[in-house]
Structure 1
């Protein structure tokens, strides 16, 4: 399967299965109850810092991808338990022959949700129905019928294709007894009879009537939900319902809040080292089988794919925050555990090898009924108030007020309304297009998508550029791209904004067709560097539309250039996306692109540049 699927997309590369080919917040004072004070006296940590420390006799665990945290459910057990996908614990974790040791779902325990101790591996022997060289990924642990149930992905089965398995135990630390057969069997993707969909990433819930449901899926096939049997060991194929589009989402997690089921899902590439753009989005539904709609009312199953951002890159050291799980601490504060990559330390061993994805923990806030990490600050890289792990403890976390970039004064010298008959001399082309490809007409710039690209070693697309301000700024355009409203395949036809240093140094925000989806991609390219390091990475934003408004905000933060993407479907309500750091320099220019393949027309109604200011959100 890896050999056949790896070529599906040059930008959205296969996620974690390809890597295991075994086939400004401060502490807020608050009064404590006597019990809480006593617990603090016993050593309750006041703060923690990411990543979560996980101790082993051989040193710390440096990677804990697809993390899951649950609390003990039996009488007297108030410890917490952490589970990680199959990976080596570190680059030093090797056998006598020097080969990396892969731990099939590592398990750790904690009393305080801050300090963790590795205990053992959950599934040291693969079940007979799982192929011996398969990976075991994405654990989801539930307490059902008086037993712990460990749901997991088997990347390859004896019969062929991936599947979801389950093992049970009286203890959250095992020993685990496999059920002997898949909970969700290998089966075709909805698009493609005879194929094997990516049956990955289980998530199990129980509704108010006692019916249990299992969510699963990934890019090839999308995300589906099925009813589970009462014992939690089998699913009903006849009940299968698609809840999120193919080629957009994976890593489902479902959480009840305020009368809704919230479906958390991750998008983009989990594992591109320092250029990883993995991010978490959410939709909600009144029923477990959807439809799941985002804050703007767009379905996660639509062609212009819905999804409200929960966490993306924020410009600190962490990139690719994703594959999250949500839980509630002893004081009622919601938290999310997820993995991310330190862009300065992205690999376990050799460059381009296994991505180092440690477990991170941050509070989850609800703003206007929608989840966001740290009120919108996203991944923390500074000391944070520790969770309330035990009864009697109180939360010291307070939701921060977040500043977001908004336009200030219009900078007319850098802007163009495209109302003239010919382009201003302030514009210039990198590789002028053929006659008729681009022209001013009807108060807009018409720019046909070219059979050309601006991607790694293929740099033959025309790029229309003009000077950018030296100080912080925000650039905006209104784009109409006449892609068909649905259907496959017009891969990588795209148009949008670019901040351009040269052909190998830029950020780009574009509406792009990816198989049957239409998405907003925010990409970064860097020059070729050390062997094994990537050159191109991308994240995605919330839902686009045939006509969409795009913004890139550029700011200098602690001597580093930050580029943050925004989008809008009406020009009034804007949604923030991720932040790339880059080194484009003072000579960088702003401009427009339309590329990726022939056959479609982009219309840019204006390019406006503003000075940048910030607005504090209450």
Structure 2
């Protein structure tokens, strides 16, 4: 167990007693977002780890923590006993201990925390260094014996800055570390403009040991975070602008690969390196109070349920202090499910939610707790850790029965593990392997660099006659040894800790395994086609259309509305682009079009686009378009709105477009507030649809719907709309 400094011990004991409920109450606990509220008003880019002391620790970007606090923190640290109630502890650095190579005034952003071979590692972005001419970002790393420090920054960056204009242009590096299935360490980093990369690290995680591999194209993603599941490496990435107050559309996507270096592809098989860039939606705003939801980490509770930890923005209260200052991004947490082998969150939650299951015996007393039977002489508690000292194999039996479907976890040093109904699972130093014995022994070799004298985490899931065991550094979804096997037909319900030789055990829990979610959330329903409100573009432009700044180049020909993209735009104060509109029906409806727009690939064509629009006025609209953004081609769901005397524009992104793309806007009216909600959807074949996030308009605003084609006319390109359909709800 990592020991706290003496002055903090009393507060830690009090926190356990106050925050961690009895095990019998675990299934009844509830929480409400934002979970960081007791500790901070804003806590962006959260990275979370369960320390070897049994507490959870979150590390955030260096913004001020509270309203009126003008001091940017040097990477704040918060602590929780249950993942839902947090207290501020300290900052990673002081002015005296911050990296010496960081420029004065540089921001310290986007931390990632890991545990490697007996110490904690923290990776972080430094926005400016003294190593070049200035304005150059780098990735630093610091080490500590415990999550609260003391943290010591290494004398040089682990990813050095890029000199010159490229370094100034590429200002955020958002690092995250991974240990792969062989025990090799990798660091992911990068952001917009430069792209995302992965580089191999030394065994201790502090140095680059090879060249970088690009894993995602520029101009689309940042905030990489990777977990391994079912033999796949899943790359979580964030897209959109993070910090535009009430116009923020940040959201999370995923791709996966069989190797840590990619190529990562989405559910449709489209690479994140493609110019028409792929990405499967994981988390997007759903029309409630939370927008700009992104920059995640992943944790697993004591029932084996994964949770996404991320930041979001309250659209009704988006700034820390005066309007247009620091965008306030508190920390949120929601259940992460795996449906058809892809990660998904049903949306940022409001109201009371079922809390993560958190339990475990951390052996904080001087003797073995009453939950265990009278131990043999080989077992004793010392320094808050359960220790085994006999050369022979022995068991410490629990007084509780093992659930039929169970999730078991513990931290171990040496040769130790668990025995469940006659089946054993343990880390075996002599065999240099993860070893299971279930009417037959099976060994999974551990990496050659595996340290048996430092803590590692062992998890075991028993479900439906199948046992799955995994070994990690700190339960962060990156196992370097896994094993799955069938169980005997009649498995008993006894549970015990097992060890051989000098060994230590801590943070032991055995809970009923979480029930997996198999069904995705329902998609917007497509009602009957309202032909009177639709247009097949099979003759002249149908009745019911009206123009804002009519464009004579837009004509109906050969069964389509053909509209050359204009050298004009709607964003900002110019408002010189044409908009073709019609009045929608009352209530719920879905508008759809098929758009043929070939923007080419790989070249900079900012910002030619065409698509659907929900339009209240020139300064209040939501635009779903196929758009060229530098060398990428994206589906952007952008929103412009006025706020506190300024015009703001932000965007969400959807999955990859194609030269022919189907687009939908699903409109609903919130029954409580009367707000208009528009959710964007897209398809590459007109059959399978992927839905993105939602933008809202105030009650009474009565937005119209229609089409746009603008953003530039060089080279000349024509958008072709095959139809405009309105389906009533």
Query: In the alignment, does 2:326 pair up with 1:346?
Result: no
Whole-angstrom CA distance in 2 between matches of 1:588 and 1:582: 8
Q: Secondary structure, in 3 states, of the residue corresponding to 1:274?
A: helix
**1:346–1:423 distance in 2 versus 1, CA, 3 Å:** same
Q: Secondary structure, in 3 states, of the residue corresponding to 2:724?
A: strand
What is the Cα-based RMSD across aligned positions, in Å?
Answer: 2.0
- How much does 1:169 deviate? 0.9
Select between 540-549 and 196-205 the one with higher mean Cα deviation.
196-205
Match of 1:597 in 2: 712
Q: Secondary structure, in 3 states, of the residue corresponding to 1:407?
A: coil
Instruction: Work out which of the residue numbers 543, 560, 565 in structure 1 matches 2:656.
Output: 543
Can you give the 5+ residue segments of structure 2 that lack an aligned partner in the other structure? Answer: 1-19, 360-508
Instruction: Work out which of the residue numbers 626, 638, 651 in structure 2 matches 1:523.
Output: 638
Within 5 Å, give how 1:440-451 maps onto structure 2. Answer: 440-451=556-567
Match of 2:522 in 1: 403
Instruction: Work out which of the residue numbers 47, 56, 59 in structure 2 matches 1:68.
Output: 47
Whole-angstrom CA distance in 2 between matches of 1:187 and 1:294: 30
In 2, are the aligned partners of 1:187 and 1:196 still within 8 Å (CA)?
A: no
Instruction: Work out which of the residue numbers 292, 299, 304 in structure 2 matches 1:327.
Output: 299
Deviations, residues 292-337 of structure 1 (Å, cap 9, x unaligned): 0000111111111100011111000000000000111111100110
Whole-angstrom CA distance in 1 between matches of 2:614 and 2:167: 43
Query: In the alignment, does 2:542 pair up with 1:424?
Result: yes
In 1, are the aligned partners of 2:161 and 2:167 still within 8 Å (CA)?
A: no
Whole-angstrom CA distance in 1 between matches of 2:516 and 2:676: 29
**1:198–1:212 distance in 2 versus 1, CA, 3 Å:** same
- How much does 1:110 deviate? 1.3
- How much does 1:233 deviate? 0.9
Q: Secondary structure, in 3 states, of the residue corresponding to 1:458?
A: coil
In 2, are the aligned partners of 1:164 and 1:200 still within 8 Å (CA)?
A: yes
- Structure 1 or 2, whichever has the larger Rg, is 2
Q: Secondary structure, in 3 states, of the residue corresponding to 2:23?
A: helix
Whole-angstrom CA distance in 2 between matches of 1:168 and 1:483: 47
Q: Secondary structure, in 3 states, of the residue corresponding to 1:63?
A: coil
**1:343–1:586 distance in 2 versus 1, CA, 3 Å:** closer
In 2, are the aligned partners of 1:388 and 1:395 still within 8 Å (CA)?
A: no
Match of 2:23 in 1: 39
Instruction: Work out which of the residue numbers 490, 499, 506 in structure 1 matches 2:605.
Output: 490
In 1, are the aligned partners of 2:572 and 2:647 still within 8 Å (CA)?
A: no
Whole-angstrom CA distance in 1 between matches of 2:114 and 2:548: 56
Whole-angstrom CA distance in 1 between matches of 2:620 and 2:152: 52
**1:188–1:248 distance in 2 versus 1, CA, 3 Å:** farther
Instruction: Work out which of the residue numbers 83, 89, 92 in structure 2 matches 1:113.
Output: 83
Whole-angstrom CA distance in 2 between matches of 1:120 and 1:188: 33
Deviations, residues 358-391 of structure 1 (Å, cap 9, x unaligned): 0000110001110011xxx210011111111222
Match of 1:225 in 2: 198
- How much does 1:586 deviate? 7.1
**1:225–1:470 distance in 2 versus 1, CA, 3 Å:** same
In the superposition, the TM-score normalised over structure 2's length comes to: 0.73
- How much does 1:460 deviate? 1.2
Deviations, residues 253-288 of structure 1 (Å, cap 9, x unaligned): 001111101000001110010111000000000000
Match of 1:414 in 2: 533
Within 5 Å, give how 1:350-429 maps onto structure 2. Answer: 350-373=322-345, 377-390=346-359, 391-394=509-512, 399=517, 402-420=521-539, 422-429=540-547
Whole-angstrom CA distance in 1 between matches of 2:268 and 2:691: 13
Match of 2:55 in 1: 79
- How much does 1:403 deviate? 2.5
In the superposition, the TM-score normalised over structure 1's length comes to: 0.86
Can you give the 5+ residue segments of structure 1 that lack an aligned partner in the other structure? Answer: 1-35, 94-99, 613-618
Query: In the alignment, does 2:67 pair up with 1:91?
Result: yes
Q: Secondary structure, in 3 states, of the residue corresponding to 1:128?
A: coil
**1:276–1:194 distance in 2 versus 1, CA, 3 Å:** closer
Instruction: Work out which of the residue numbers 577, 591, 614 in structure 2 matches 1:499.
Output: 614
Match of 1:172 in 2: 147
**1:501–1:176 distance in 2 versus 1, CA, 3 Å:** same
Within 5 Å, give how 1:131-530 maps onto structure 2. Answer: 131-159=103-131, 160=134, 161-187=136-162, 197-236=170-209, 238-373=210-345, 377-390=346-359, 391-394=509-512, 399=517, 402-420=521-539, 422-434=540-552, 437-487=553-603, 489-526=604-641, 528-530=642-644
Q: How many residues align?
A: 551
Match of 1:30 in 2: none
Whole-angstrom CA distance in 1 between matches of 2:140 and 2:202: 14
